[in-house]
Amino acid sequence: MRNIWSIFKKEIISFFSSPIAYMLITVYLVLSGYFFYLGFVRFANYVNMVAANPQYSQQLAQLNLAEHVLRPLSYNICIVVLLLIPMLTMRLYSEENKMGTMELLLTSPLGYFEIVFGKFFASLFVYAIMMLFSAVYLFIIISYGKIEMGPIITSYLGLFLIGMAFLSIGNFTSTLTKNQVVAAVLGFGILLLFWVLGWGAANSEGRMAGLLSSLSITEHFDSFSKGVLTLKDIIYYLSFTFIGLFLTKASLESTKWRL
C-alpha cells in the first residue's frame, strides 16, 4: 500500500511539474465547454420555438434537459476523452524506459502490481480532476433548469468507468516503448478500434454481430447516459480495465527477459 502511495505521489508531482496535465485539462475544458454551449443553446432555441406554437404543446412536455443536453454532451465528452487520454498516459512508462529509471523501479523491492496501480491511480486522479472541473456545466444546468439527478450521476459514473478503461490501455501501450509518441499513437489506435468495433455489427449476422457489439466500448455507455445502471455494462468496463492493467503488469514483467 505504502509503495503504491509513493509511486502515486511521484507521478502526481511529475504530472503537475510539467505542462502536460495543465494542457490536457485546459484543452478538455475548452472543448467540452464548447460542446456544452452548443447543446444548451440549441436546446433553448428549440424550446422557444416549440413554446411559440401551441399545436406542439405535447412535444414541449417531452423535452427534457437530461435527454437533450446531458446525453449528447456526455457522448461528446467521451470522444474528447478518447483523444486526450493516450496523451495523458503516454509518458508514464515510456519516459522511465527512456531515462533508465525503470531500472531503479525494477531493482527496488516493489511488486509489479504496486508500480502498475501507483501509476494507474495517478493518471486516474488527473482524469478525475478533469471530470470534476466539468461539473461547472452541471451547476449551470441545475441552476437554470429542472433536471433529474439520476442521469447526472449515472453519466458521471459512466464517464469515470469509460475513462478507467481508456487509461488502462494507455498505461499498457506506454510500457511497450521508449517513445512517448509511439505510446500515444498505439493507445489511440487500440481505443479507436474498440470504439468503432460496434459499427461492424451492422454488416455481420447472428453471433458475430452480437460479439462485436458487446465488445464495443461505446455500446456499453448507452445505458449510463440514459440514467440506467446495468450490471453488465459496469462489469464490462471494470473487466476491460482489469485486462488493460494485467497486460501492463505482464509487459513490465517481461522486461526481465527482453532487451
Partner 1 sequence: MIEVCNLTKNYGDFTAVSNVSFNVKDGEIVGFLGPNAAGKTTTMRVITGYLSPSAGSVKVDGYDVYEQGMQVKKIIGYLPEKPPVYPDLSVRSYLKFVAEIKGVASRDLNKSVEAAMEKTAITNVAHKLIGNLSKGYQQRVGLAQSLVHNPKVLILDEPTVGLDPTQIIEVRNLIKGLKDSHTVILSTHILPEVSMTCSRVVIINKGNIIAEDTPANLTKRMATDETIELIVSGVSDDKKLHETLTSIVGVKSADIAFNETDKTHKASILVKSSFDNAPEIAQKIIAANLKLHKMSTSELSLEEAFLRLVNTMKGDEQK
Q: Which of 20, 130, 142, 137 is nearest to 81 (CA)?
A: 130
Q: Left, alpha or beta for 205 (phi > 0: left; psi -120 to 50: alpha)? A: beta
How long, in residues, is the chain? 259
Q: From CA 195, how far away is CA 185, in angstroms rounded? A: 15
What residues have CB less than 8 Å from 111, skipping those under 6 apart?
3
**Contact predicate 127/87, CB 8 Å:** no
Q: Is the Cβ of residue 7 or residue 80 nearer to partner 1 in the bound state?
A: 7
Binding site for partner 1 (CB under 8 A): 2-3, 6-7, 9-10, 13-14, 17-18, 99-110, 255-257, 259
234 alpha-carbon distance from chain centroid: 14
Q: Tell me the closest approach of the beta carbon of residue 14 to partner 1, in angstroms.
A: 5
What is the smallest separation between the CB atom of 102 and partner 1, expressed in angstroms? Answer: 8
CA distance 244 to 238: 10
